[in-house]
Structure 1
Amino acid sequence: MGSYPFDTKIAVVLREDLAPWQRVNAASYLIGAITHAFPQLVGAGYEDADGTPYLATLGQPLFVFEGGKETLAEIRERAVRRELALSVFTHDLFGTGNDEDNRAAVRAVRGADLDLVGVAVHGASNAVDRVMKGARRHP
Structure 2
Amino acid sequence: MTPAELPPVRFDTKIAVVLRSDLEPWQRLNVTAFLVSGLGTELPEVIGEPYADADGTPYLPMFRQPVLVFEADKEMLTAAHGRALARALPRSVFTSDLFATGNDRDNRAAVRAVPGDQLDLVGLAVYGPRNAVDKVIKGARMHP
| Bucket of the pairwise TM-score, normalised by the shorter protein | over 0.9
Unaligned runs of 5+ in 1: none
Counterpart in 2 of 1:69?
74
Is residue 10 of structure 2 the alignment partner of residue 5 of structure 1?
yes
State the aligned residue count. 137
- Structure 1 residues 13 and 4: alpha-carbon distance in aligned structure 2, compared to 1, 3 A threshold: farther
- 2:30 aligned to which of 25, 34, 45: 25
Q: Any runs of at least 4 consecutive aligned residues in structure 1 with deviations exceeding 6 A, and if so which?
A: none
Q: Residues of 1 paired with 2:83 and 2:124: CA distance?
A: 12
| Cα offsets for 1:53-79 (capped at 9, x unmatched) | 111110011111001111110000000
Counterpart in 2 of 1:80?
85
Structure 1 length as normaliser, TM-score? 0.95
Q: Residues of 2 paired with 1:116 and 1:9: CA distance?
A: 21
After the TM superposition, which residues 101-116 of structure 1 pair with which residues of structure 2 at under 5 Å, given as runs? 101-116=106-121
Shift of 1:26: 0.5
Structure 2 length as normaliser, TM-score? 0.91
Shift of 1:7: 2.0
Unaligned runs of 5+ in 2: 1-7
Residue type of the partner of 2:92? S
Shift of 1:4: 7.1
Radius of gyration: which is bigger?
A: 2
Shift of 1:24: 0.7
| Secondary structure, aligned partner of 1:13 | strand
- 2:62 aligned to which of 36, 57, 67: 57
Q: Residues of 2 paired with 1:108 and 1:64: CA distance?
A: 27
